[in-house]
Amino acid sequence: MIARREFITLIGGAAAAWPVAARAQPTGKLPIIGFLGTNTASAQRQWTDAFLQRLRELGWIEGRTIAIEYRWADGRLERSAEIVAELVRLKVDVIVTHSAEPVLAAKRVTAVIPIIFPVVADPVGSGVVASLTRPDGNATGLSLQATDVAGKRIEILREVLPGFRRLGIVANIGAPAAVLEMREVQAAARTVGLATTTFEIRQTNDIATAIDALKDHVEALYVVSDPFLATNRNRLGILAVGAKLPTMHGFREHVEAGGLVSYGANFPALFRRSAEYVDKVLRGAKPADLPVEQPTKFELVISLITAKALGLDIPPTLLARADEVIE
């Protein structure tokens, strides 16, 4: 049996370990995270799970020390302002969302509630923050550096397809960050003498139209990453394989859905790190004082299943450099 004094000591120690912000709330009022996922819940489950796991490690346990209001845009970024307005009405303490358009929409709706972004391709170029070191305003988080690695992705494609000359590019023209990356891809392709054909995606039906239009005119396809195409990645993967088009992507989930190769940051790792920003904000830090961080590791993922379906032999030297090979 635990002595009364020992019991009180245990309780006191446990209370001291609880998150400061949680203890500062009125009785019965937990801090609320407004979580706006740009895809469907199932499409980004790995990312959300990584975020929640890190929160738990930091002492923020859903339903006990924190409450979370989930909303899903299902790839329709035009709904961002409407969803954010709803979260503001719920008086959330912090908003977590990713991709430039939802973050910009959140900044337009509120200049007071902190906004944490696990992923934005080019936070400065898209106008999300003033600079990486001094974000200013009420938003901060992690940069994907997507525009910086376009040249590297094209280089990898040229290893897979030595001598190829014609590159197709598909991008959601409604996503500001996707437009920036599309231009970077076009510029990088020109420097190595590749001819490019770009197809602008605006709605789901455009995906099949794009593949059909490009399949006889290009030798490989660069898919510009954005929430809309991520939500539709299974459809895209099936159609590309059917058209015998090797594809390059910005993150591994596309390769799991039938893409050939991806090179980019690990999204679950970025979402995990974003939980640390949330922890700091809930403990009193201001987003303007938290510099935007960048990925610490880029991953090369290759699908031998897709390579076989396309009749391609992946160079052993490239396979040896891959972080993961899907067989």
Please tell me whether residue 290 adopts helix, strand or coil conformation.
Answer: coil
Q: CA 253 from chain center: how many Å?
A: 11
- Read off φ and ψ for residue 42, nearest 5 degrees: -70, -35
Q: Which amino acid, one-letter code, is at 143?
A: S
71 and 36 in contact (C-beta within 8 Å)? yes
**Of 192, 306, 259, which Cα lies nearest the Cα of 314?**
306
Cα distances (Å, whole numbers) of residue 130 to 123, 137, 146, 286: 8, 8, 18, 15
Six token digits for residue 298: 């880029």
Please tell me whether residue 139 adopts helix, strand or coil conformation.
Answer: strand
Helices marked H in 192-327: 205-214, 227-231, 233-242, 252-256, 267-282, 304-310, 316-321
In the predicted model, what is the mean pLDDT of the chain? 89
Return the ∠ at Cα 263 (arms to 259 and 267), rounded to 5°: 90
| Rounded Cα–Cα distance for residues 201 and 187 (Å) | 20
Q: Is 151 exposed, middle or buried (0-12, 13-18, 19+ CB in 10 A)?
A: middle
| Rounded Cα–Cα distance for residues 307 and 151 (Å) | 22
DSSP string of 162-197, one letter each residue:
TT--EEEEEEETT-HHHHHHHHHHHHHHHHTT-EEE
Q: Which domains does the chain have, with CATH numbers?
A: 4-144+267-296 (3.40.50.2300), 147-265+299-326 (3.40.50.2300)
Six token digits for residue 145: 């550096």
Q: Which residue has the tokens 């959300």?
A: 48
**Tens digit of pLDDT at every position of the chain (327 positions):** 344 334 333 334 333 334 444 434 444 589 999 999 998 999 899 999 999 999 999 999 999 999 999 999 988 888 999 999 999 999 999 999 998 889 999 999 999 999 999 999 889 988 999 999 999 899 999 998 766 689 999 999 999 999 999 999 999 988 877 888 899 999 999 999 999 999 999 999 999 999 999 999 999 999 998 888 988 999 999 999 999 999 999 989 999 999 999 999 999 999 999 999 999 999 999 999 999 999 888 999 999 999 999 999 999 999 999 999 999
Q: Which residue has the tokens 């120690």?
A: 13
Mode of pairing for the β-strands spanning 261-265 and 298-303: antiparallel
| Rounded Cα–Cα distance for residues 88 and 109 (Å) | 8
Evaluated on CA atoms 261, 263, 265, 269, the torsion sign reads: positive
